[in-house]
Amino acid sequence: MLNIALPKGRLGNKVYEIFEKIGYECPEINEKSRKLIFENEKTGVRYFWVKPSDVAIYVEHGAADIGVAGKDILLEYTPDVYELLDLGIGKCRMAVAGKKDTRDKIGKTLTVATKFPNIARDYYSSIGRAIDIIELHGSIELAPILGMSDVIVDIVETGTTLRENNLEVKTEIVDISARFIANKSSFKFKTAEIEALTEKIAEYLKREGK
Could you list the residues that contact ligand PRP (CB under 6 A)?
138-141, 154-161
For residues 7 and 67, what is the distance between their CA atoms, to the nearest angstrom? 8
Tell me which DSSP letter residue 37 carries: E
Q: How far is the CB of 124 from ligand PRP (least distance, A)?
A: 19
Q: Answer positive or negative: Cα dihedral of 156, 183, 191, 19.
A: negative
Question: Under 8 Å CB-to-CB from 142, ≥6 apart: which residues?
Answer: 148, 165
Q: By Cβ distance, which residue is nearest to ligand PRP?
A: 138
Q: How far is the CB of 210 from ligand PRP (least distance, A)?
A: 20
For residues 20 and 5, what is the distance between their CA atoms, to the nearest angstrom? 14
For ligand PRP, the closer CB: 55 or 140: 140
For ligand PRP, the closer CB: 33 or 158: 158
Alpha-carbon Rg for the chain, nearest whole angstrom, is: 19
For ligand PRP, the closer CB: 102 or 139: 139
Q: How far is the CB of 136 from ligand PRP (least distance, A)?
A: 8
For ligand PRP, the closer CB: 41 or 164: 164
Q: How far is the CB of 15 from ligand PRP (least distance, A)?
A: 17
Q: How far is the CB of 161 from ligand PRP (least distance, A)?
A: 3
For ligand PRP, the closer CB: 170 or 200: 170
| Terminal Cα distance for the chain, rounded | 28
For residues 112 and 39, what is the distance between their CA atoms, to the nearest angstrom? 43
